[in-house]
Amino acid sequence: MGMEWPNDIYAAFKEAGVDQVAYVPDAGHKTLINACIADNDIKAVSLTTEEEGVALTAGAWLGGDKCVMLMQSSGVGNCINMLSLIETCRFPFVAFITMRGQWHEFNPWQMPMGTTTKQTLELAGLLVEEVEDPADVGPQAAAILHKAFVGQQSAALLLNQRLVPVKTFGK
């Protein structure tokens, strides 16, 4: 399976002028995270938990920076309470979320949040798009960044589990 789509997202970050990227380490985002870490113009911030990223994006915006958050769908569940900060403080927020609980999921613990991520984010007031075709990732990434930083919206792009290699326990 081709994994060029992380480079398409990275290119969209550069085009949109993203200054900071908050992330919890994730195999699905590994290539994108590494590209951001290697870029001297992007401050890549490793988080201990996803809700820290919501506060970091708020602070970045107040400080004049554009910040993007990278996480896995299970991390959305960790952010539920913090998502209210986005609506209350009215700052642009954008998240790129690798999905679990979809295509060939092996871990039953990933199913509950993986199957309700879109609805959860929409209930929290975010505009949510999902992409499954690798060819659509770059244009969708650019569009979601535009919605957030130009349209001053909170938005998320769900990266369907078909975009990443099938995961298994062990080997």
Name residues whose C-beta falls within 8 Å of residue 9's C-beta, 6 or more positions apart in sequence. Answer: 32, 96, 137, 138, 141
Whether the predicted model's global pTM rises above the 0.75 cut: yes
Note the Cα 101 to chain centre separation in Å.
Answer: 16
Do the beta carbons of residue 92 and residue 61 sit within 8 Å? Answer: yes
User: pLDDT tens-digit profile of 111-134?
Assistant: 567 777 899 899 999 999 999 999
CATH class of 5-163: alpha beta
Residue 101 has pLDDT above 70, yes or no: no
How many other β-carbons are positioned within 10 Å of the β-carbon of residue 41?
Answer: 10
Structure token pair of residue 29: 């985002």
| pLDDT in the model for residue 10 | 97
Residue 166 has pLDDT above 80, yes or no: no
Query: What residue ranges do the domains of the chain occupy?
Result: 5-163
Q: Residue 39: name the closest of 58, 69, 19 by CA.
A: 19
